[in-house]
Structure 1
Amino acid sequence: MDDINQTRAACWRRRLRECLNERGLTQVEFVSALNRTYLTRFHQKDVSRWLNTGNQTANGVIGFPKYETMMLIADFFGVDVGYLTGETNETSFDLEKASSYTGLSSDSILAIRRWIDAPDGAPDDELRSWRADTIDRMLSSSGFSELAAKMLTLYEMSTICYSSPERFQSLMQSLAASSDLPDNRTFQLITGAFYGMANESFSSLLKDAYPTPTEQQFEYSLNTDSADASDTQDVSDNDDLWYGAL
């Protein structure tokens, strides 16, 4: 093997073993699960060979498995082959692209994906659609940029506070210079004001993204108990009514 393939082989060995450890699988348990899932006929000795890819033996260097086998292994663990061989540090190229495009960390993207995909470990297409729409409405709301700006201010304050206490103290003192209150009380009022503005923006965003029914609409809904199913469906589909009420 050349240096590039040796590097990829070393990464393959490490990450394949990490995948096994994360699942809590022994070599025997892994090969049994792999065979059940893909109707293959691998053996424990095959797994041992995969885990020693690139290592020198009396018969020469152990090569990579066939690419079809590598794809099965990667699919079993929910990653791309490129992750196992070190071509990307994300578990998939799609995740790498999403992270690069949005500027968000892969952990953030995966957190959203996990919440949308498998609530309580039970995937449900309809519920997945509701959850995705919930996030969509929040991020596309006209109030999101305002809330994000307030959150940025809080993040900056928090970062300065812990990374540069002297600078933070100087900043607070300059803000409190015109106040007759004790410094600690002024600090509480200032930080409270920033959090209050963020809460106000968040409340505004929620009302914009998930509008509640007006008083007239609510009274109307109470007076339509005898409406037929089609009328009820028409009312529930109205975007002005409580979105997501079950």
Structure 2
Amino acid sequence: MNVLVLLAIILCLLMVLIGGKKGAKSFISLFLNFGVLWVIILEMTLPQANPNLLAIVAGVAISCINLFFINEVNSKTIAAFIATVITITILLFIIYTLTEKAMIQGFGGEEIDELIDVYSLHLGVDFIKIATAVIILSTIGAIIDVAISITSPMQEIFQRHPSINRKELFISGLTIGKDILGSNTNTLFFAFIGGYLALFLWFKDLSYSFSQIINSKIFSAEMITIFCAGIGIALVIPITSWISALYLVRGRDKI
């Protein structure tokens, strides 16, 4: 049996046994997310495509899958969805500016040596927008995860203390977010180290100095991705806390 199929079956069984119905939905969402990304990638290859707009569309679609499909439509998923969309929109402008100023778009010198003799580099696409879209899609999962991790306990706090005011509920959300911030930022960092360990070995074989490593386009692009993801995580915490507190308290006051 193909190794990929076997691993997929094992993952599916474990998710269903441990997570039940929600675990099964989570497994299905993996393929739905892949489908969204595949369509977006195909669209980005078209000359008239706008990668930034496609990144926002993909972010919204992935948010709907991971929030509404898995956790259904309720107060916590609605608040998390709104906060995610707002954060992605703000982050888009930050990332685009950073990408343009840092000039990290396109291929690094190490990659050019392998590509220039085989492929044409005249693709007719805006690599700044492509790089921005790639970073957005790299951070969307972490932003959604933080958003739902805040709205869920905030809803529990509100149900336990229905008389709590908006400010107190907002502060509770910030407190929850502070505990999440450090762990998620470190998760992003170690994901980079694990995924690009071969890159560091390559730098060593090429006898790169420390200054050459940190100025390498490949290394800089990945570090900027981590920092932008960290910025997104930091931004989504107060945004989610404020929206969730507003949504919950306003719903109570209308009753």
TM-score (norm 1): 0.29
The structure with the larger Rg is 1
Q: Which has the higher contact order (CA 8 A, sep 6+)?
A: 2
Per residue, is there more helix in 1 or in 2? 2
